[in-house]
Amino acid sequence: MYTLDDLKIVMRHYAAAISKAPNDTYKDISEDVIHKNALPVGGIATATPRRLYKSAVRYALNVNGHSDKTWPANWLDLSIAQLAPKII
């Protein structure tokens, strides 16, 4: 199972992989970044970067033994540090 710090690192990796800046690495994404500022809008059909990020984080939590918790409706307005304790 992930610790809170593990989850924050995973979230930073996924945010960097899907971020607005194509050359971002997880080191470029701090746990204080607000999701809507890092994750682009758009996509193809329903495959948006924001949905991909959320799905990837949910999957990572699930395969590591965590239950699938409901995300806050305003998760895009939260930082990684604010969101992580709500979903772990």
Give the pTM: 0.89
Sequential DSSP letters for 49-66: HHHHHHHHHHHHHHHTT-
Range of the domain at 14: 4-87
Number of domains in the chain: 1
Which amino acid makes up residue 32?
D
pLDDT of residue 42: 81
> 36-80: per-residue pLDDT in tens?
998 988 877 778 899 999 999 999 999 999 999 999 999 999 999
**Structural contact between residues 46 and 85, judged by C-beta atoms closer than 8 angstroms:** no
**Structural contact between residues 11 and 79, judged by C-beta atoms closer than 8 angstroms:** no
